[in-house]
Structure 1
Amino acid sequence: MSRLRAVVLVLVLGLGLAVQAEAQARIEYVPSAETQFQQAGQLFKSGQIDQAAQILNQLAAARPLHQRSSAALVLLAKAYYRLGRCQDAVQTAQTFLKTFPQSRYLPYARYILAACYAKQGRARDAVPLLAETVATTRDSALQRAAFRALVVLVSRLDRSTLHRVSRRIRDDRAASYLELAEVEVALQRGALSEVIRRGQDLAGSTDVKAVRKRAKELVSIARQLQRGNLRIGVILPLSGYYAEQGKSLLRGIEFALKRNKPEGLQLDLVVRDSESSLLRAIQAAQDMTVDDRIIGVIGELEGDKSIAIGAITSSHHLPLLVPASSLTGVASVGEYVFQMNADLERRGQALAEYAYNELGHRTYATLAPADEYGRQITDAFTERVDELGGSIVAQAWYYESAQDLSRQFKMIRKLGFLRFIADTLKAADSTLVVVPKEKVEAVWKALNDTLKANAKPGDPTNLVDDEDVPVLGIDAMFFPVYTEDIPYVASQYAFYNIRAHPLGGSYWYAPEELRKNKRYVDGLVFVSDWFLDETDPVFLKFRDDFRLLMHANPDRWAAYGYDAMNLLLKAIREGASTREELKDSLEQMEHVQGIRGETTFKGSHRVNSEVNILQFVGGKITRLK
């Protein structure tokens, strides 16, 4: 009966009564009743139940009705129950139900009454009350306690008695919960065929979302038990170069399993260490394909290894969920490969769409590393800008070191000036559709000649070298650079005085580097596959629970693992118990909220189409979209 502590908490804290007497009796405010009730609550909490009951009895009997009448009756019924005076508890609870039929405390009174009936051996009377409690309470703790008690009592009644009891229930929601309890009992008895049949019928007929969800889970569990324990394979680098990240991701997987595995589900993890080796990853994937009990695999950490094992698992119709790689093309190696992070192509497109549609930018320049990452995301960004009707004014690349980007920034400055001249000329002459190149260059030459003619010794002789003159012809500048390049790129960007809104890729998600370079890139908007909002109550609960269960702090890799395992658990809860069913379920997922962001595979060729658009402003990172 410890679950009934929820009653005390609600009452003692003095939450509003919201009660209405059946006969519309007048309720008066009596100051002394408030003092007495608080005293009774303190006595109850300290274990002095007898003394509390005496005060509560006086409050409940007092007339006219006052602001604590209903609360006193409920707490008095509980006090009688705790004292072993079940008949007094029954009479008190019944008095409450008759006097205050609209009270928010009705579920608590019904639960106390049901507990008394159960103690008196009147299970047939307790069951309808418990079903109504589960169906009507908004207190999740009370609902869980009432449903567990309902399952216990249902297990003690035969079918004919249950049938007679069910006919006494008039509320459809309560009837659905009673039937769900019967399916739970069937699972406990091992009647798997009955669970599947009745669970499917219930899921298809009830309007109660929670009942429908649990009924589907029970059907899935029964099917799995018919086949033996389900298994999920995990291939990660638990030793070698990426061991730290791999172990953290595995902790996230294990935490999701501990926290969110449906009750009764038998699910095992089969974990293999790739040793940060492509060969070992391939061998692990080959081993997993021959175990029919493995219905899905999570792995690997790196893109090349994910592609290799994806080709193997897909050829054996074994779904692979890639939790971390953003490399474009990973999911294309097979129809059973799902990429949880948006790839570089989608990230570039999403940022371009946000910059154009939400920020209103029309002219752009880019500066990126000339490697696979830089070219993939930049190409996607610029192509989408073109499709939207924007203009790429300049594109620059760098190889290896970003310490000296003077050549690139000077080129961008020149092209930015030329664009500004063209836009100015066009604005001055509305008949111009396209400004002739010769006219732009003539103005450019004239401006530089004027600057040179008026220059003093040591002064710049052209606009490109005169950093005091800002470049205004570029709305936004895209820098998909690596974290270690941020200090060099940010400072040189500011030095060359390009007045464009800075945009970035996921490697800008480096709070310490951003704070160090705040004066250069404040207002930066960038795209990321993850975002941990430390002001969000959901994340704070996740973090605290993770620390308690895993004895470690969660990082981005743990969030990847947690979200990946939850996607598989969601599919299993919804009935997936084979490789094909898991694949079909994953393909239909859309807007599934995780710790690091949302996941949508539906209509996106098995690559997550959701990205986080973030902004660094005032020293903090916030999510824009």
Structure 2
Amino acid sequence: MNHKLLFVLSQVVLLGVLFSCTSTTPTRPSDMPDRQYLEMEAELVFDEALKNYRENRLQLAIENFEDLIRSYPNSRKRAESYYLMGDAQYRLRQYPQAIHTLNTLITTYPQNEFSTKALLLIAQTYFSGEDYLQAAAFSIRFLDRVQDNPLAQEAHQLLEELVYSYLTVGELDQLAETYQQATVRDKLLYVLARRYSQKNEFSKARRVLIDLLQHYPDSAYYVAARTLYEQIRISGGYDLSEIRRTEQDSSYHRPVLPAKALSIGLICPLTGRYAVYGQAVQAGIKLAIKKFESREGIQINLVTRDSQADPIVALQAVNQLIEAEEVVAILGPVMSDPTVVVAGVAQGHHIPLITPTATDRDISSIGSYIFRLNATTATQGVEMADYAVNELGYRKFGLLYSTNPGAIQLARSFENRVLQYGGFIVSDQQFVEGTTDFREQMEALKAAEPEAIYIPATPAEAVLIAPQLAYHHIDAQILGSEGWGDESVIRLGERYVNHAIFTAQFYSSTDSPVGTQFQSTFQYEYGYKPDRTAALGYDAVNLILSCVAQGNTTPTAIQQCLARTRDYEGASGKITFLESGDAKRDVVLLTIIDGNFVEVHD
């Protein structure tokens, strides 16, 4: 057989193999029943839909799920397809379509597990669409079905946000009347009573409190409701004996709440170069305190000192807070250098301190009263290097960073990880903080021809550097730190920051209900979107306030309570404090695409 014939036959065989590999229709054995074969086809369609869903091709995933639902009415994957299609529509902000899809799921498969989950997703969809009454109604329906489930915590937090911040008095009354058997009706009644009393409608408040105290003697709100009723009685002449309950029945744990306002200290830069970070932390903290005071009726005195990001000024501030203000806990400072100084003083006086944003790796080693929410610089640098080498396949890197100690630590952690993988740092460029002209560094980087450049920068630095990279025709992939995740980078960096990849711990488009609620409340309160710094400040004070609500009102009691924190659902993600005092945090990778932050999937 000649070589030409052999070549032709080989190409025919190869085409046949390729055709068989790319076919999406399963081969059907002659003895396979119709139902089994149809299920195999449905599985293939579902797998394709799920792949598109996971890779964030949501509109294509919706079309796949619709195809499965329409073409395979008996498939086992149909209920899950309804749910995932509704979730995809929700994530694309197609709220009416999502609600229709999920309601169809509940009607068609009322006992299916995905129908139960759909109730919560519908609640979240109504919340995002600003229909707060319906959001609360579906949250209540979900909680009536689910008690011991991780999703139940999400539902409780969503409902709490709604009843304290969004629902009107009339809507609360309507819910309490409609859901007479609801597991959370005692919460509705208590909040409703407080709202009536704040409006000086004492007779209505009294009616609601009697309902709560008579029908929910084991409620967590019983003691608070009884106290409120007593206050109304004193002011309005009502007799507490109307509540048919004896003191012998009142063997409930009552937290020892403070007789006067508790003072919490905040040290952060409110003036100077880093004021933007301090102001963001302060905004998140004030929002959390406002909500806490409204919900718990406990007054918090936030005593704020401007550190100017200066360790000496911060040292004076912490001594004032401890000695003159008698604070029970301290938040901040924001920058690492002042935090190291302040933490030593707080530890010496046994005052718990949570720094929301500092990243220096030595902070948590100062002592057991010191806690940190932010991931260390080492963690962030390592995560970025892991992705750049293992997923992107780069080996030649440039470094561009300032003389700020945090930036130096990020650069060194990234460099060390790259070298561990056998990669190379072909150009190591540093600049003095405040530099605006990077011509010298750009020329050195261009000459070295790196595949990617790691730039741990502040937002202000990022929007100056990115255009200069383009001006000098440097086409290397931009890799960054969390500073690139600020909204100002998109607004001011324009097309020059497109496709930059960076590490972050808070993603403003997260699907987390707590994160979503925080973003919505923050924007309603201040008129602009929060960044990750505001979210960390919000979480830091909420961790302390949750301890206070449990009756921990001394510095030592708060420290012990914080040390027990496990899987706390915060606006910046789940928080667990390790024995070191560092929070166990997940670092996510984001990129910028057409003016939006988008999560990077491996």
TM-score class, shorter: 0.5 to 0.7
Alignment partner of 1:508 out of 484, 501, 505? 484
1:615 Cα deviation from its structure 2 partner: 0.8
* Equivalent in the alignment of 1:152: 209
Alignment of 1:274-293 (within 5 A): 274=306, 276=308, 278-290=311-323
Superposition pairs of residues 259-298 of structure 1, within 5 angstroms: 259-261=291-293, 263-274=295-306, 276=308, 278-290=311-323, 294-298=327-331
CA contact (8 A) 2:370 2:581 kept: no
Call closer, same or farther: CA 1:582–1:361 in 2, change over 3 Å: farther
Q: Is the 8 A contact 1:587 1:606 kept in 2?
A: no
- Residues 364 and 478 in structure 1, CA contact (< 8 A), matched pair in contact too: no
CA 1:286–1:493: 2 relative to 1, 3 Å: same
Deviation digits for residues 114-166 of structure 1 (CA, Å, limit 9, x no counterpart): xxxxxxxxxxxxxxxx9x624277x9858965998897226876xxxxxxxx8
Cα deviations by residue, 1:216-258 (Å, 9 ceiling, x for unpaired):
xxx4xx3234x65433222334566666654553333222111
1:173-572 map, 5 Å: 178-180=218-220, 182-185=222-225, 198-200=251-253, 219=254, 222-225=255-258, 229-238=261-270, 246-261=278-293, 263-274=295-306, 276=308, 278-290=311-323, 294-356=327-389, 359-361=391-393, 363-369=395-401, 371=403, 372-387=405-420, 389=421, 391-392=423-424, 394-400=426-432, 401-405=437-441, 407-410=443-446, 412-413=448-449, 474=451, 476-482=452-458, 483-484=460-461, 486-488=463-465, 491-492=468-469, 501-509=477-485, 513=489, 522-533=498-509, 542=518, 545-546=521-522, 549=525, 554=530, 558-572=534-548
Quote the Cα distance in structure 2 between the aligned partners of 1:243 and 1:487: 19
Q: Residues 197, 235 of structure 1: CA spacing in aligned structure 2 closer, same or farther, 3 A cutoff?
A: farther
Query: Residue type matched to 1:231 in 2?
Result: S
Is the Cα contact below 8 Å between 1:559 and 1:595 reproduced in 2?
Answer: yes
Partner of 1:133: 181
Amino acid at match of 2:423: S
Q: Which amino acid is the alignment partner of residue 286 of structure 2?
A: E
**Residue 291 and residue 553 in structure 1: after superposition, are their counterparts in 2 closer, same or farther (change >3 A)?**
same
SS for the counterpart of 2:288 is helix
* 1:616 and 2:592 correspond: yes
Contact preservation (8 Å) 1:252, 1:561: yes
* Secondary structure, counterpart of 2:181 in structure 1: helix
Q: Within 2, Cα distance between the matches of 1:155 and 1:265?
A: 18
Same amino acid, percent of matched pairs: 22
Q: 1:551 offset after TM fit, Å?
A: 7.2
Q: Which amino acid aligns with 2:400?
A: A
Deviation at 1:318, TM superposition (A): 0.4
Q: Aligned partner of 2:350: which letter?
A: H
Query: 1:583 and 2:559 equivalent?
Result: yes
Q: Secondary structure at the match of 2:415?
A: helix
Q: CA deviation at 1:285?
A: 1.6
Distance 1:304 1:186 in 2: 48
Contact map agreement 1:232 1:294 (CA 8 A) in 2: yes
Q: d(CA) in 1 for partners of 2:431 and 2:454?
A: 17
- Letter of the 1:224 counterpart: L
Q: Secondary structure at the match of 2:371?
A: strand
The code of the aligned residue for 2:377 comes to L
Q: Verify the 8 A CA contact 1:598 1:611 in the aligned structure 2.
A: no
Match of 1:470 in 2: none
- How many Å apart are 1:562 and its aligned residue? 2.2
Query: What is the letter of the counterpart of residue 297 of structure 1?
Result: I
Distance change in 2, residues 1:607/1:233 (3 Å): same
Deviation at 1:572, TM superposition (A): 2.8
In structure 2, relative to structure 1, the CA distance for the partners of 1:390 and 1:180 (3 Å cut) is same
- Counterpart of 2:542, as a letter, is N
**What amino acid sits opposite 1:267 in the alignment?**
Q
The normalised TM-score by structure 2 is: 0.54
Cα distance, 1:250–1:504 mapped onto 2, change above 3 Å: closer
Aligned residue pairs, count: 402
**In structure 2, C-alpha distance between the alignment counterparts of 1:347 and 1:143, rounded to whole Å:** 44
Letter in 1 for 2:461: E
- State the Cα RMSD in Å: 4.6
Question: What amino acid is aligned across from residue 408 of structure 1 in structure 2?
Answer: A
1:523 aligned counterpart, secondary structure: coil
CA shift at 1:566, angstroms?
1.6
* CA distance in structure 1 between the aligned counterparts of 2:543 and 2:184, rounded to whole angstroms: 30
| Matched AA of 2:448 | I
The CA deviation at 1:543 is 5.0
Aligned partner of residue 590 in structure 2, secondary structure: strand
Counterpart of 2:439 in 1: which secondary structure? coil
1:479 touches 1:503 (CA, 8 Å); kept in 2? yes
Question: Given the superposition, is the C-alpha separation of residues 602 and 391 from structure 1 closer, same or farther in structure 2, using an over 3 Å criterion?
Answer: same
Q: Distance in 2 between matches of 1:555 and 1:312?
A: 29
Q: Structure 1 unaligned segments of length 5 or more: list them.
A: 1-12, 20-106, 113-129, 158-165, 167-174, 201-218, 417-473
Q: Which amino acid aligns with 1:286?
A: N
Cα gap change, 1:279 to 1:195, in 2 (>3 Å): farther
C-alpha contact 1:230 1:293 (8 A) present in aligned 2: no
- Deviation at residue 315 of structure 1 after TM alignment: 0.6
2:378 counterpart letter in structure 1: E
The Cα of 1:313 is off from its aligned counterpart by: 0.9
Residue 370 of structure 1 and its aligned partner are, at CA, apart by 5.7
Deviation string, structure 1 residues 490-541 (Cα, Å, up to 9, x no partner) = 654785665x543112232355655776666532210135443399886675
Quote how far apart the aligned CAs of 1:346 are: 1.9
Partner Cα separation in structure 2 for residue 236 and residue 321 of structure 1: 12
Q: Secondary structure at the match of 2:374?
A: coil
1:335 and 1:196 map into 2 onto residues whose CA distance is 41
